Amino acid sequence: MLNKRLLLSVATVVCALGIGYAMQPKDPGRPGIAAPGGGTVESSDAAPQMPQELDLALTNISLTSALPQRSGVPQPATPSITSRAEVQIGCDMAAQAQARPGALVLLQVTAPCLRGERVTIHHQGVMFTETLDDLGALDVVVPALARSAVFIVDARSGDAEDRAGGAVVLGGALAVVDVPDLDQVSRVVMQWQGDSGFEIHAREFGAQYGEAGHVWHQASEAGAGQVLRLGDPNQIAARLVEAYSFALVDPAVAGEIEISIEAEITTLNCGREQTAQSLHLNEGRLTSRDLVLEIPDCSAAGDFLVLNNLVENLKIAAK
């Protein structure tokens, strides 16, 4: 195991709380070394605001709602994608949302005349970019951030411009669903745009890097919680999201889940300023923090920045 360690001063332009951080080689079996000073974040108790670019002109909106039958507390398992009951005829975009155990939502989008088009999903200030398939359909499981969960699907073309000089709106749809078990889930979300290389790492109840209970999007073993990654990275300047969720299904479970945000230094992000936002859902209450940092130059490619204290560790109390 390599012993290489590089300390770093991360330049930031957002103000308020200090972040501990470190740089480490690309090796998940080794924790980072906290360094003083550096990154700063902005904290808010209010739900995050929609970005200014969300100047939607939605037409032909389909509003759907579904409330599943439930018994007991759900297990934190990703729901299976189900096929649609009927085939949509015509060109209108439609969206439907179905609540699933673990405060997850199955969002299904249908737009038969927009095959292969780029769409942006908006939910409670979170945005991610997806691509409709060859039938103009999209099925995606989204971690909910509100009891009454609203999802806006926005499709617009970058190949043509309208009279105002912006992208032409191709279609839009909206779906709403009640998420009854939202307060039974603790959730950490990270969102960013482009090739920033951010990742959420959760180390559950004392687990170390590489051990069972170290949960991230490429973990080889399942943990008590799960990480979902949303967005199509093949799209230009794609908006991407990662979410770690822990469902409070066992009242006897207690302990701490350590959360860190890590960013791999690559040839695509090195030497550049990167921005991101984290959101924390706890007992139905949503808070957010913003981050701006300067990634080191390309000589550090292959290493990781480890941002400690960007989000609070999850403290699970027995009930």
Q: Which residues contact 267 (CB under 8 A, 6 or more apart)?
A: 298, 301
Q: Which CATH class is domain 94-179?
A: mainly beta
List pLDDT tens digits, range 228-259. Answer: 999 999 999 999 999 999 998 777 788 899 99
Question: By percentage, how much of the chain surpasses pLDDT 90?
Answer: 46
Is the distance from CB of 202 to CB of 258 less than 8 angstroms? Answer: yes
pLDDT at 18 over 70: no
* Mean pLDDT across 136-149: 97
How confident is the model over 135-149, as a mean pLDDT? 97
11: pLDDT strictly greater than 80: no
Residue 109 is which amino acid? V
**Could you report the per-residue pLDDT of 61-112, keeping only the tens digit for each?**
334 333 333 333 333 444 455 555 455 567 889 999 999 999 999 999 999 9
- Position 299 pLDDT exceeds 60: yes
Percentage of residues in the chain with pLDDT exceeding 70?
A: 68
Residue with the larger pLDDT of the pair 120 and 21: 120
Sequence-distant (≥ 6) Cβ neighbours of residue 67 within 8 angstroms: 99, 177, 178, 180
pLDDT at 29: 53
Q: Could you give the angle at the alpha carbon of 100 between the alpha carbons of 96 and 103, nearest 5°?
A: 105
- For residue 93, the one-letter residue type is M
Ranges of each domain in the chain: 17-44+184-316, 94-179
Mean pLDDT within 123-134: 96
Top-confidence residue, 14 or 175: 175
Positive/negative CA dihedral, 258, 261, 264, 265 = negative
Q: What's the pLDDT at 34?
A: 37
- pLDDT score at 168: 77
For the chain, how long is the longest CA-to-CA vector?
61
Six-digit token string for 170: 């191709």
